[in-house]
Chains A and B, each alone.
Chain A
Amino acid sequence: MNQKKYRDISRNKTTQNLFPLDEALGKGTLFKNIYVPYKVDPLAPIPGDEKERLLLEMQMYALAVQDIGLYLDVEPNHKEAVEIYHEYLEKLKKANDEYESKYGTLTKTSQYVNGYPWQWDKNNWPWMMEDEYVGL
């Protein structure tokens, strides 16, 4: 098989090709070669408190996994990218676990959905404002 040259991701050149993860979330992509700013050039979002910090961490890893995942859909034989994907996926799972253990379940199949009364509806829905009443 011909050795294909991959320009988008390379471990040695990760800092050259990819944004740092927190900055990538602000900008909307990991990939420097795709990103072109318009009107603003956002940096990393700044968390208000511990809950927000953990949520940002999850969003950061979720974007990394999504972004590299889409890349892998069209470049499925890029071994290094698969490794980086799994690295970020592990971090996403860890951040997710820490968030749910502290602030409640995010999916109905999470281990943290256990308990009585019913836990699924107990934390805020994502579209609600910070200070909005959750309801009964």
Chain B
Amino acid sequence: MWAYKKMLWFPINIKKKNLKLAKAIITQYGGPYGELSAALRYLNQRYTMPDSRGKALLTDIGTEELGHVEMICTMYYQLTAGATIEELKDAGLCCNYAQHGGEIFMTDCNGVPMTTANIGATGDPLADLSEDMAAEEKARATYEHLMDMTDDPECLSVLAYLRTRELVHFTRFKELYDYYKGQMVQE
């Protein structure tokens, strides 16, 4: 069971409309290194983790990522609030408008819908955790690229927060990976 709490992990109050940035940020919703992909990856892998540490860590990080999905959607929602059709066309969001109107949809920044095809589920904890570490690094790199493209402090603060979470998750996955590897050597 999951329980919804009506609050964000981190305050988001974006007042400056920025459609081009919104178009780029959407990749952290439905792109290959996005938050939704991360949440589904960990929540899918957790069932067959060999012990409680793995089940707990993947459940907790997967759940946190669902909250990050909400943060990314909030950023997109606020960055596009009040946009006219002309503005959407200028920012390259005309196809988005044609297909989805003002609704947010899980795509990468080229409009390619999210796929689960590249989510690793090997049944091997070391292989899965290596992928999770890589996923966190790829998401960190993506956040840095997004930060390169804006100087709006209201966006930077949120992107910086989300980027740091990738560092934390990477560290914990690595610790679990090293622990499992150590266990195997002992056996």
Contact = CB atoms under 8 A, between A and B. Distances in A.
B124 interface: no
B164 interface: yes
Given A28-B161, A28-B163, A73 B9 contact: no
Contacts of A109: 3
Contacts of B78: 127, 129
Which of B3, B147, B148, B168 counts the most chain A CB atoms within 10 A?
B168
A9 to B, nearest CB: 13
B119 to A, nearest CB: 21
Given A38-B147, A73-B56, A130-B13, A28 B165 contact: yes
B73 A127 contact: yes
B70 interface: yes
Interface in A10-52: 25-29, 31, 34-40, 42, 45, 52
Interface residues of A, number: 42
A126 B167 CA distance: 25
A108 B3 CA distance: 9
Nearest to A70: B172
Interface residues of B, number: 45
Contact of B172 (A52, A56, A74, A127): A74
A38 B57 contact: no
B7 A26 contact: no
12 contacts: A27-B161, A27-B164, A28-B168, A31-B168, A38-B144, A42-B161, A52-B11, A63-B10, A70-B169, A73-B60, A107-B6, A127-B8
